[in-house]
Every structure is written in C-alpha cells, then in structure tokens.
Amino acid sequence: MNKKILLAKDHTAIQNFTHQILLLQNFNVDSEKNGKRALEKLSKHA
C-alpha cells in the first residue's frame, strides 16, 4: 500500500526531522515550507 503525506512546516529542522520519521514509517513524503504552499500544491493536483 502506497501511503502519501504532504508535510507543511515552516521550521526547517522540525520539518526535516518529521520527514525522516515519516519515511521510516514507509510514507511517501512531499514537503512544503508552509501551509499556503501546501494548499497551492493540493489545488494543482485536485
């Protein structure tokens, strides 16, 4: 099963740490630096 997640976090260190934890849990992780960019990305793929 392919589990995807879009991670939006404006603090780089926390985003990197969370990204790595999610990868270890077998998620396909896509990251954005803030919520606005994440919503823009979601609207492009809808």
What is the per-residue pLDDT for 20? Answer: 97
What is the per-residue pLDDT for 2? Answer: 82
Coil vs helix vs strand at 25:
coil
Coil vs helix vs strand at 34:
coil
Residue 14: give the domain boundaries.
3-45
Domains identified in the chain, total number: 1
Secondary structure (DSSP) of 7-24: EE-SSHHHHHHHHHHHHH
What is the per-residue pLDDT for 45? Answer: 78
Closest CA to 7 of 46, 43, 17: 17
Stretches where the chain sits below pLDDT 50 are: none
What is the per-residue pLDDT for 1? Answer: 67
Q: How far apart are CA 10 and CA 1, in angstroms?
A: 29
